[in-house]
Amino acid sequence: MSAKAEALGGAGEQKLSPQFHVAHHFDKADTQFDAGRMGVWLFLVTEILLFGGLFCAFAIFRSKYFPSFVEAHHHLDRVMGGINTIVLITSSFTMALAVRSAQKSETKKTTALLAITLACAAMFLVVKYFEYSHKIHDGLLPGGNFTAADFASGHPGIFFAIYFMMTGIHGVHVVIGMGLILWILLRNQKNEFSSRYYAPVENVGLYWHLVDLVWIFLFPLLYLVG
């Protein structure tokens, strides 16, 4: 085998992620893959702890200012929240299909599915932008910035402080997820992923599923229960 052919591993192997290599501190590819996946799961645990703390804060303030939370949550747009829920569930589905396509070396299909996932994420942020704009226009703002009238309860600003904090942090995670999806989409277009090497696609998929899962809890908690 020529030096060039050896470097590429032949035409057949070029299709199977020619840039992939096992790092020197791993004895084999499986060990490297498992280590990377464990790292991602540990990171996801920290994310769960973060949002778990926010959910606990919501429960504490809701119990203390229950009438204000119940009244304020009626001012959230359930339709927009529902649309965003459907959009994120769809994106989670297309992300799962993208991981499967990468595992089967279906590069074009993986690119298309990642693009759809990216579009869904952008749609989520657009809907969120209109939601935030409406709240700001009506003075439904956190804490002392709350200026909306016709509220019977005394502390609706606390509800909107929790609302903007939780949905804002979640929105930041959506933006980070979009960056990660774009990153693996560009790498996929360079044929870097295949049945031989697809760990980055799977790891980004795990992160994206967590982002979706957090919203699945946020939507009923903020929009339906209050």
Using pLDDT thresholds of 50, 70 and 90, give the confidence band for residue 4: very low
Assess whether pLDDT exceeds 80 at residue 21.
Answer: no
Q: Which helix (H) or strand (E) holds 79?
A: helix 78-103
Hunting for tokens 């994206």 — which residue is that? 208
pLDDT in tens, 165-209: 999 999 999 999 999 999 999 999 999 998 888 999 999 999 999
**What residue spans define the domains of the chain?**
30-139+154-224
CATH topology of domain 30-139+154-224: Four Helix Bundle (Hemerythrin (Met), subunit A) (1.20.120)
pLDDT at 147: 87
Assess whether pLDDT exceeds 80 at residue 220.
Answer: yes
Q: What is the CA radius of gyration of the chain?
A: 22
pLDDT at 143: 83
Q: What's the Cα-to-Cα distance from 93 to each of 127, 163, 175, 202, rounded to whole Å?
A: 20, 26, 18, 13
CA distance linking residue 132 with residue 175, whole number of Å = 16
Cα separation of the two ends of the chain: 68
Assess whether pLDDT exceeds 50 at residue 78.
Answer: yes
Average pLDDT over residues 111-140: 95
Using pLDDT thresholds of 50, 70 and 90, give the confidence band for residue 10: very low
Report residue 197: phi and psi, to 5°.
-150, 110
pLDDT at 20: 67
pLDDT in tens, 176-185: 999 999 999 9
DSSP state of 143: G
For the entire predicted model, the pTM comes to 0.85
